[in-house]
Amino acid sequence: MAQENGKALLITTDCVEEREYNEEYESITWENCTLRKYLNNEFYNKFNEEEKSLIVKTKVINNDNSVYGTAGGNDTEDNIFLLSIDEANKYFKSDDERIANYDGEAAWWWLRSPGNNDNNAANVNNNGNNVNNDNNAIRPAFFLISMP
């Protein structure tokens, strides 16, 4: 967890479920992928009204992939989001710290950053490295109003 401007960033310790980044294998960015729609609707609605009132809608910066030059697309405003490559590296200082489990085993998990081409999103593999893959778990993040 990180504290920023009166808000606390919460990132799940482990992955919560498996999901496709997008239903169709096509040119896609975080702004338009089906995983973003799911996280900000169905997943968000699993919280009760009191919990929702503490979640801060956040401007999410969607940078281009600095290694492959793949376009990140438009910035978004989200209640729930995935980390970017830069954020995963910022909040988890080593490969070991980035390892997250799903169903009792180290899992690959999605990032919102674009991958090596415009049909792929970046992710973290089960060794904690940033790489690309097709089927991954999700590790949602969101900002919460910090309580005094």
pLDDT in tens, the chain (148 residues): 577 778 899 999 999 999 999 998 899 999 999 999 999 999 999 999 999 999 999 999 999 999 999 999 999 999 999 999 999 999 999 999 999 999 999 999 999 999 988 888 998 987 766 555 567 899 999 999 876 5
- pLDDT number for residue 140: 97
> Per residue in 61-72, pLDDT tens?
999 999 999 999
| Under 8 Å between Cβ of 65 and 72 | yes
Selection from 118, 146, 148 nearest residue 56 by Cα: 146
- pLDDT number for residue 59: 96
- pLDDT number for residue 147: 62
Which residues does 95 contact at the CB level (< 8 Å), separation at least 6? 127, 128, 129
How crowded is residue 139: how many other Cβ atoms within 10 Å of its Cβ?
24
Cα angle vertex 52, ends 8, 18, to 5°? 80
